[in-house]
Structure 1
């Protein structure tokens, strides 16, 4: 963890090992940096303290991955590369960072437009809107797969755990029952890394929060300098590989485009650390704001 007071004046004296005694969410290299940074940190300390109290609860997510679709990997019967290769998605598009060799040959800094294709048939991925609204809160991958009419052996949970974690966090925060009453939900998403190459999967939030405009502020040092401030509107879902599927016509040139303003899900990229960018982000983020660190 980096010193929260870095860049506020004097140079850091060493590792950030001195945590805030109240919230425990930020650390400092020295008492002097903690004192000098208090005028900034005090604005968010109470909020962070409340979130840290629920840390154990928030770490217990049911949407990390689907054991049904990755049982061979879970039981060490095959490698992640082999798992992806058998399905034709090894080092391809959205899946390029899902194995060690893929992560070593790509970087978000070299990519301007991210892939918006699952590289799967339409029976294996959620390329279109749901056939019915959510009847109850989703509590497991089985619930989700049944609702979206996807077979349990589909590997999409490897990527969909990002939006499903957002969904589950909001349910835990007690906002799930309020989504029918609000028109906009703003989420501060801290520390994105490989998901920066998988932005199209966040389009699934359109199905999870129907009728709600979702704005996600992704903040972290992994965002390249040239992408700082980029705004990405997800007008629909990542599409499948079937040439005659409805999703291809609806999604063509719109699924992960930059510069539009009329989508249901908008992502904004911010390079840096949250304590450095919080004031700028808070000026434009309103309505229900939710803080999420992954």
Structure 2
């Protein structure tokens, strides 16, 4: 776990071994960084405390790697690097930004538009069948896409699945016959998503028959990036500063 105050002033003094005593959700490298970060952290400390009381809910995720990717990493029995290395994904393609050492050397120009996984473990082709009903969980999604529960693709797919879930929260029925055949998504403030753009292609499967246009807007977008990163009849991604 990184120091929550990293990059906000002075350099970190070492590993983030000092946790907030109240929420236990964030860590710091020193008491100086903890004090400096309090003005920001106090706004979310209570919320994080409530969430941490329900941390056992993580065990309800259907993935076979849930404990390995969460609790074991937090308790330093495992690292993000070792988790990825076991799956031959360390510092590879879209997975580059999933650990600190990979993120430090990743650039927009190095973007790999593939999953770097066997087709058995990822949604690298269209679904075998259209969505028969709304998806309400990761288990529903994995079952629909015929992906085994030991596949780590959920670590990247939370971007498009969050968009899908947002539609559910506002009461828009994806399967509603009266829904427009065009969908424009304005995605503000992307950062590491810019190195994982290919995952947004899954929106085509989640919104079948809909022309999807995604505009990612924010200061992290390189000044000379391609304005239209991907474009075809049903799906396009546009990068705007």
Common fold: TM-score over 0.5: yes
User: Structure 2 matches for 1:169-188, cutoff 5 A?
Assistant: 169-177=166-174, 180-181=177-178, 182-188=180-186
Matches of 2:62 and 2:97 in 1, distance apart?
18
* Residue 175 of structure 1, CA deviation: 2.0
The secondary structure found in structure 1 opposite 2:111 is coil
- 1:125-144 to 2 correspondences below 5 Å: 125-144=122-141
Equivalent position of 2:34 in the other structure = none
| TM-score after normalising by structure 2 | 0.69
Aligned-residue Cα RMSD (Å) equals: 2.0
| Secondary structure, aligned partner of 1:137 | coil
TM (normalized to structure 1)?
0.57
| Aligned-pair CA distance for 1:67 | 4.9
Ranges of 4+ aligned residues in structure 1 off by more than 6 Å: none
Instruction: Select which of 54, 71, 83 maps to 2:67.
Output: 71
Aligned residue pairs, count = 177
The 1:179–1:105 alpha-carbon spacing in structure 2 relative to 1, beyond 3 Å, is farther
Correspondence 1:124 to 2:86: no
Q: Deviations over 1:4-37 (max 9, x none)?
A: xxxxxxxxxxxxxxxxxxxxxxxxxxxxxxxxxx
Whole-angstrom CA distance in 2 between matches of 1:262 and 1:101: 34
Paired position in structure 1 for 2:156: 159
Deviations 1:89-120 (A, max 9, x none): 10000100000111111232xxx473121111
Higher relative contact order (CA 8 A, sep 6+): 1
Whether contact under 8 Å (1:123, 1:150) holds in the other structure is yes
After superposition, give the CA deviation of every residue in 1:28-74 in whole Å (9 maximum; x if it has no partner).
xxxxxxxxxxxxxxxxxxxxxxxxxxxxxxxxxx9xx8754332122
Counterpart of 1:225 in structure 2 is 223
Partners of 2:228 and 2:62 lie apart in 1 by 31
Q: What is residue 208 of structure 1 aligned with on the other side? A: 206
CA drift of 1:178 comes to 6.1
Deviations 1:104-146 (CA, angstroms, capped at 9, x unpaired) = 11232xxx47312111111100111111111221111111000
Matches within 5 A, 1:1-294: 67-76=63-72, 77-108=77-108, 112=109, 114-177=111-174, 180-181=177-178, 182-227=180-225, 230-233=227-230, 261-271=231-241
Query: How far off its partner does 1:148 sit?
Result: 0.3
Map Cα deviations across residues 256-287 of structure 1 (whole Å, 9 max, x no partner): xxxxx53322111111xxxxxxxxxxxxxxxx
Q: Which residue of structure 2 aligns with residue 42 of structure 1? A: none
CA contact (8 A) 2:167 2:174 kept: no
Three-state SS of the structure 2 residue aligned to 1:217 is strand
